[in-house]
Amino acid sequence: MEKEKLKSMPKVELHCHLDGSLSRSFISQELGREVDPTELQVAYGCRSLKEYLEKFDLPVQCLQSEKSMRKAGYDFIRSVAAENMKYVEVRFAPLFSAHEGFSTEQVIEALLNGLEDGRKDFGTESNIIVCAMRHQSEEDNLAMFRAARNFLGEGVCCGDLAGDEAAWPMKNFVYLFGEAKQLGLPFVIHAGECGSAENIREAVECGARRIGHGIAMKGHPDIIKLVKDTRTGVEMCPISNLQTKAVEGPEDYPMREFLDNGLLVTVNTDNRTVSNTSISRELGFIQETYGIRDDELKLMMENAVRVSFAGDSVKDRILKEIRAFG
């Protein structure tokens, strides 16, 4: 598909982190100085997920007040709308912004207000995914989920688990997500970005609606079957996954394997600014590198609609637009 056509294609994104996707102009304005791209974007020679995560320090500094959080939501929607994004689920860790005088509830509400400001000006619909962080205490993560539960159906769609997967495996969080289930808070989980395929199995068995990345189930037909049979969505982020060394090289990336096995594969950016990417760039990359056909691009967008937390009327409208796109 030609570059301009890729950009105009109706899009849905499900795996995109707010702090890793803020524009350089927004961050420069908030910090009061011109920020160099190298301070925000990962270098070509990135060696690991740990090194990749270091690029989040500056953006998080810009998310410490109601005004900044609201402006960040608007900045995010303005950026994604530029490539005909119809619906996006943006994820962030409220505990990175909450502090004395700025509660978790206020953090979430400020971001919701900014996203709504953006929707009014640019038309892109959105929901928030709240991230529990692996390195934070169970008590703090659970308190955050309880606060976020108050906004469920009013802009918050689900919870998540993010952070250094190799250091804090899924087995440490079974209780947390059991409690989330008791709260009635749906969840998705980062699993298989690095670390063992067993993290994916445990996330699905805990009740995750979607798996973030899922690369480690490559070559594991039993886990692939589990993910397929449970109709668990798979949020693949090709360029980010290659940067963080989730696989050795492009030839080892399992997108074709997952598609051919009938998984509900979706294409995402992970972090637009950190990875210097967009959905249009991701789609062009997988067509060029893995021979993904035009009809498969549309299929993955339809998958994203189906496994999203968007309302039925939004889903129906976007599905019609994707199918009509020629």
Give the model's pLDDT for residue 51: 80
Contact between 240 and 269 (Cβ < 8 Å): yes
Give the model's pLDDT for residue 141: 98
How far is 285 from 273, CA to CA, in rounded Å?
17
Give the model's pLDDT for residue 53: 80
For the chain, which residues make up each domain, given as ranges? 3-308
Domain spanning 3-308 has what CATH number? 3.20.20.140
Give the model's pLDDT for residue 95: 97
Give the model's pLDDT for residue 43: 79
- The label of the residue with tokens 């530029």 reads 82
Give the model's pLDDT for residue 107: 98
Give the model's pLDDT for residue 326: 81
How far is 154 from 184, CA to CA, in rounded Å?
14
Structure tokens given for 42: 């990962």
Please name the helix (run of DSSP H) or strand (run of DSSP E) that holds residue 129, with its range, or none.
strand 125-133
Give the model's pLDDT for residue 194: 81
Predicted TM-score (pTM) of the model is 0.96
- The label of the residue with tokens 């955050």 reads 144
Give the model's pLDDT for residue 166: 86
Give the model's pLDDT for residue 246: 87
pLDDT means per 10 residues, the chain with 326 residues, are: 94 98 97 94 78 88 98 98 98 97 97 98 98 97 98 98 91 97 98 90 98 97 98 97 90 96 98 97 97 97 98 98 94
Please name the helix (run of DSSP H) or strand (run of DSSP E) that holds residue 303, with its range, or none.
helix 294-307
Contact between 231 and 264 (Cβ < 8 Å): yes
Structure tokens given for 197: 């395929």
Give CA separation, 193 vs 63, 118, 139, 237, in Å.
Answer: 26, 31, 25, 10
* Catalytic residue set: 193
How far is 321 from 326, CA to CA, in rounded Å?
10
- The label of the residue with tokens 């978790």 reads 104
